[in-house]
Amino acid sequence: MTGFSYADASQQWFAVVLADHGEEARSRAFALVEAGDTTESGCIETPTQDARRVRFMGRQMPAYRFIFCILNGVEAGYDDVVRHRCNNKRCINPLHLELGSRGENLQDERDFAANGVDFGLL
């Protein structure tokens, strides 16, 4: 048996959106980024208490996950985490986001607690 590949429901959803609704999704992602407020550290924050959520094509998710996946063409699965290099959950700056695992995200939290954020690395 060759050629078998498993894609969870999240990966399948992103694949359909990127293939069939890519232009509309990119437009929405750029509009979300443009509506944010830029801080001195370069974060683009949403005007919300916590991470903003966005609904698109019947699915709701954190805005930072939607923005990262759509603008980078990534079909993220349930086990994939969009990490904030700036450690600011309200940040939707695509340059501050990267894909990783839950373990890497936990290590980020530990590093931040011990050392803070080095904005020079962003």
Q: What is the pLDDT of residue 5?
A: 67
Q: Which of 54, 51, 53, 66 is nearest to 13 (CA)?
A: 66
Q: Which of 14, 10, 2, 3 is nearest to 72 (CA)?
A: 14
Each domain of the chain, given as residue ranges in start order, spans 9-121
Q: How far apart are the C-alpha atoms of 41 and 90, rounded to whole Å? A: 13
The per-residue pLDDT string of the chain (122 residues; one tens digit each, 9 = 90 and over) reads: 566 667 899 999 999 999 999 999 999 999 999 999 999 999 999 999 999 999 999 999 999 999 999 999 999 999 999 999 999 999 999 999 999 999 998 898 888 888 877 766 66
Chain centroid to CA 64? 4
Q: Which of 54, 59, 70, 65 is nearest to 98 (CA)?
A: 65
